[in-house]
Chain A
C-alpha cells in the first residue's frame, strides 16, 4: 500500500539544518528569499565564513515543519546553485548546538544581587557592569538561554542580543 495518507498527517518538528555555501554576494539573500517566498519559517539563522581559502560559509538554520515540508526545504536549499551541501543535523545523528546571548539587566538592591546569583547558576559571565546594570554573556542551548531570560524578566531585563544557533555534528567526521 502507499504511504500517501500517513505522511500528510505527520506532525510539526524542529530541525537544525547546516548548509555549506560559496561565500559570494547574494547567497544569503537566496536562502532567505527561498524561505519567505515559499512560506517556510525560520526560527534562527546564523552565517559566517568558515573556510577562508575556498571562501565557504556555513549557514545554520533552525526551522519547523512537517516531515514533507522539511524534506522540501532541504531539496529547495540543495537546488540553489552556490550550495555545496545540506545536512539535517536533527536526523543525521548526535550534534552539539550552541547559542550566545548578551543580556542587559538593570536594577538595584536585592534584585541586582538575585540576578548575579542566577547568572552564577547558569554559568553566565558578567561582561559589563555599572552601578545599576549588568551585561551577562551566556552560552548554551536555545532552551537554556530562554530559561535564563525568563528568570531575568522580573529582575529588570532591559535588552537582549542573541547570535542564533550554531551547530555541528558530534564525532570525528566532517559534515
Chain B
C-alpha cells in the first residue's frame, strides 16, 4: 500500500476506535491511540524512541548545526550512549568494529555537508565488506534542499552507490517507518550500510510513532531458505567428490555463530579440507587439522593448490574476489562449483558456478547436514586419503617460513609473539591495511568468529584504530588490539583522543617498517625497485605522540625485548601505542602475483627473480 499503516487497525485517522461494542478500548490499544493523538513528540524524540526499540545502546557520532535538535535529545536521556569521535570517517569504522564484533547493527550520527561527505569512505567500506551500519546524516531543512544552502550536500545522491539503500525523510509521518526499515535492510539478507538523511525541520516538527512490529517493507524480501532440490543435488555432489574443498568466507560470519558451528560440524562430518578468505577468518577453528589456512594472493601454498586441483568446490558465503581467484581463466579449471550465497548477484559474477544455492548459510547448512545424515552419506575414503596425502605434501613446504634474526625484529615474529602471549585472553583483533594486515591474517590464529575485524574489500588504511574503538566499546572487558602499520596509523590517529576520553584501553601494535610496505613490495617486484613516494618520511615520535594524547607509548627494537614489551602493553590499563621497529625490507610471502594462476606462487625472496610478473599482470591491482 502507498502509505504504511500508521494507526492500529480499527482506528480512524482521528484516533477514534471503530467497530467495537464495548465503550472502552482495552488498555494496550488505548495507550497506542493516546500516543497517536497527543503527537507532541518531536522528530528528534521519535528517532531516539525508534533507536531504543531497535535495541541500540550506542551511537558513534559528531555534532553540527543540522543535527543539534537530535543532540539535544541525546543530552536529555541516558539509555543510549554517544561516543564522540574525532572525524566522521572514524565514526563509521567504529560502528563497523562494533557491528562485526557483536553481530548487531552499528549506528552513526553525523551532521550535514562535510559530516556526511566525511562518512563516505566508511560507508563504502561497510558496503564492500557487508557490514550492517545505519548512518543518520543531518540535512538542511526541506524548503532549502536544492538551494546550495549552508552545509548542504546531496547526501542521498552521493551515497547511493556506496550504501545498500538510502532514504531522505521528507515527511514527518514517514520518519519512524523509515528508521525501522533502515535497520531491517541493514541487518538482514546480505548486510550493508543504510543512510537516513534527516532535514532539520523533520527533527523539530512533531511526528507520529510506529513501533517496529507494525512496519513491513513493501518489496524487500531476502531469500533465507535454500531450494531443497538444489541442496540435495549439492549433497550428492559433495558425497561423491574425490578431491573436495570447502572455500568459505565472510558470509558465514554474517550468518552468525550458529552458522559457524554448523560449518564446523558439516566439515568434520565429511572429513574434507577447508580454507577461509581474509573475511572469513574465525568461521572455522584455525587449530583444526582440516583447516588449510587462508587462500588467495597471500594465502597458503596448500590452500591455493588444493583450490586449483580440487574436483568439487563448495563456496560458502564467499564471493570469488580477485584476490582469491587470481587469473580467472586458470582458476580451478577442473572443479564442479557449488556456491551458497544469500545474494544472487554474488553468483556467476566472476566465476561461472555449476550449482548455486541462494539462501542464508546457516539455514542451508542445517538442511545439508539433515540430508547428509538421512542419506547416510559416506565419502570415498580411499580417494580422500589420497587427496589428503597430496595436501600434506603441499603443507610440508611450510610456505609461511621466514628467516629469523637475533638483531632485527621480523614482522612475522612480532605477530607470532603477540599471538602466543595474548591468546589466553581471546583478544579481538582489528587491522589496518598493508603487509602487517596480511601477516596478521597468516600468523594470528582465530578459533571463533567475530574476533577478527579487517577492511578486506575496500582495503581502507585508517580502518583499524577507529574500528578497535567500536570493538572495545562493545566489549569493555576484552583485550582489543589494532595491528597497525606506521603509515596506516597516521590516517586516523586523531581517534586516539576518543580512546583516551572514554578510557578505552585499546592497544595499537604498530609494525613500523618505515615504509608503506605493501607499496614498497609491489615497487620492488613490478617497478624495478624504484621506491617512488613510499618511504614514511617525517614520522612523529610515536612514544611522545602517545604521551601528548594522554596515552602510553612503548618502543621495542630488539627481538629479545619483544615479549616483555607485549606483556607490558597488556598490563597497562589504558590505551597504548607500541612502536615495534621491524625489518624494513621484509616482504610478504607467499604471493600470487596479480594476473598469475594459483600454481605460480612466489614462496620467498628467492622466487621473485625466477618468475617475473607479466605485462598483463602489471596492469592489474
Bound CA span A155–B185, Å: 56
A53 cross-chain contacts in B, Cβ below 8 A: 2
Q: Can you spell out 10 A-B residue pairs with CB atoms less than 8 angstroms apart?
A: A4-B335, A5-B329, A8-B328, A26-B156, A26-B166, A55-B2, A72-B345, A72-B348, A80-B165, A82-B218
A2 engages B337 (CB within 8 Å): yes
| Given A2-B335, A2-B354: A79 touches B348 (CB 8 Å cut-off) | no
- Check: B349 CB closer than 8 A to any chain A CB: yes
Residue among A25, A68, A72, A79 with the highest chain B CB neighbour number at 10 A: A79
Q: Is the CB of A29 within 8 A of B1?
A: no
Q: Is A84 an interface residue (CB 8 A)?
A: yes
Within 8 Å CB of A4, what residues of B? 333, 335, 337, 351-352, 354
Which A residues are CB-close (under 8 A) to B345? 72, 75-76, 78-79
Residue B336 CB within 8 A of the other chain? yes
In the complex, chain A residues whose CB is within 8 Å of the CB of B190: 79
B132–chain A nearest beta-carbon distance, Å: 14
Q: Do B352 and A68 have beta carbons less than 8 Å apart? A: yes
- In contact, A2 and B161 (Cβ under 8 angstroms): no
Question: Quick check: B219 and A2 within 8 Å, CB to CB?
Answer: no
- Majority secondary structure of chain B interface residues (helix, strand, loop or mixed): loop
Tell me, rounded to whole Å, the shortest Cβ–Cβ distance linking A154 to chain B.
44
Q: Mark A1-45, 1 if CB is under 8 A from B, else 0.
A: 111110110000000000001100110011001000100000000
Alpha-carbon distance A3/B329, docked complex (angstroms): 12
CA distance A96 to B326 in the complex (A): 43
Of the candidates A2, A5, A7, A33, the one whose C-beta lies within 8 Å of that of B160 is A33
Q: How far is the CA of A26 from the CA of B145 in the complex (A)?
A: 15
**Candidates A3, A30, A33; contact of B352 at CB < 8 Å:** A3
Point out residues on B near A: beta carbons under 8 Å: 1-2, 156-157, 160-161, 164-166, 168, 170, 185, 190, 217-220, 328-329, 333-337, 343-345, 347-349, 351-352, 354
- Distance of B357 from chain A, by nearest CB (Å): 14
Question: Most chain-A Cβ atoms within 10 A of its Cβ — which of B329, B337, B345?
Answer: B345
Interface residues on chain A, size class = 20 to 34
Q: Kindly list chain B residues whose C-beta atoms are within 8 Å of the C-beta of A91.
A: none
Whether A81 sits at the interface, judged by CB under 8 Å, is yes
- Which residue, A26, A33, A54, has most C-beta atoms of chain B within 10 A? A26
The winner among B218, B335, B336, B343 for most chain A CB atoms within 10 A is B218
In the complex, the answer to whether A81 meets B220 with C-beta atoms within 8 Å is yes
A positions within 8 Å CB-CB of B: 1-5, 7-8, 21-22, 25-26, 29-30, 33, 37, 53-55, 68, 71-72, 75-76, 78-84
Since A25-B168, A72-B345 are in contact, a sample of 18 more A-B pairs with Cβ atoms closer than 8 Å, ordered by chain A residue number, is A1-B336, A2-B333, A2-B335, A2-B337, A4-B333, A4-B337, A8-B352, A21-B219, A29-B160, A30-B160, A37-B161, A68-B352, A72-B348, A75-B343, A76-B345, A79-B344, A81-B217, A84-B219
Which A residues lie within 8 Å of B157 (CB)? 29
Interchain nearest-CB distance for A3 vs B (Å): 6
Least CB distance from A66 to B in Å reads 11
Residues on B with C-beta less than 8 A from A55 are: 2
A residues less than 8 Å from B170 (CB atoms)? 25
